[in-house]
Amino acid sequence: MRLAGRRDGPHLGHALAATAVMAAACGARAQTGWPELPDPPRSTVEWVARDLVVDGLPSRIEHFDSELSADEVLTYYRARWARSARGEARAVSAGGWRGLSTLDGRFQLVVQVRDKTPHGSEGMLSVANLSAFRKSPLPANWPRWSDVKTTQVTESSDGPKRSLLVAMVSTQGLDLNVRRWRDEWIRRGYGLAHEIAPQGEAGVRSWVGSFDKSLQTVDVAVAYREKDRRTYISVNLIGPVGTGMAP
């Protein structure tokens, strides 16, 4: 029984954790249309992302709150999928979530859930289009340096805007990374709209800069952590839907 209709929700962080259990595969002819992943009983469901690509894997993700326990939610999907023509449900886990995964053609269906206090549960319903997986999720002309490793690439749409969010880590210090990213965007014709070095926690130095060019903006956040001697970088490129995400 559905208690409320879907609506856009604020659970993108959980959504990215959910995609950690989606297998990357490619090659077969794409199945047309997205398969339906039914809601768990006695639950409210909301959209997290209808158009999301994480590390090259197109996905749709919903969040739910249920009166059922995590065990009851998993029992529901295990029984439902056992009666279908889909592959046998496989147990999965990631970041404290328990779940089940199955295949529907070239789509992967995943439910992940955890108990809530004092009762009930919350979880994620995820569908991934394995046949549309891209091995190289970054644009070909994305800035690259030998000491910088990309840890996650996320594309998403929000109304008329599309975002390309890239998380990276560097073995070099804060000052070098700030200089190279500032200079690189300016070299590409972006104007520096503003920059700030916010006061952070002890042992952390950081810098945030915003750039713009025509209809696109770039927000860059850089933070150096003394405890692990690494610099963490987040670059968010935002532009109109349908114009491509080349920087």
Every domain of the chain with CATH number 3.30.310 lies at 12-132
CB 45 within 8 A of CB 125: yes
Every domain of the chain with CATH number 3.40.1000.10 lies at 148-240
Please state the length of the chain. 247
Given the candidates 3.40.1000.10, 1.10.1840.10, 3.40.50.960, 3.40.50.300, the CATH classification of the domain at 148-240 is 3.40.1000.10
Residue 53: pLDDT over 80:
yes
Separation between Cα atoms, residue 181 and residue 150, nearest integer Å: 15
pLDDT at 82: 87
| pLDDT, mean of residues 176-182 | 98
Separation between Cα atoms, residue 185 and residue 150, nearest integer Å: 18
Task: Grade residue 244 by pLDDT with cuts at 50, 70 and 90.
Answer: low
| pLDDT, mean of residues 56-80 | 96
Fold of the domain spanning 12-132: TATA-Binding Protein (3.30.310)
Q: Dihedrals φ, ψ of 135, to 5°?
A: -70, -25
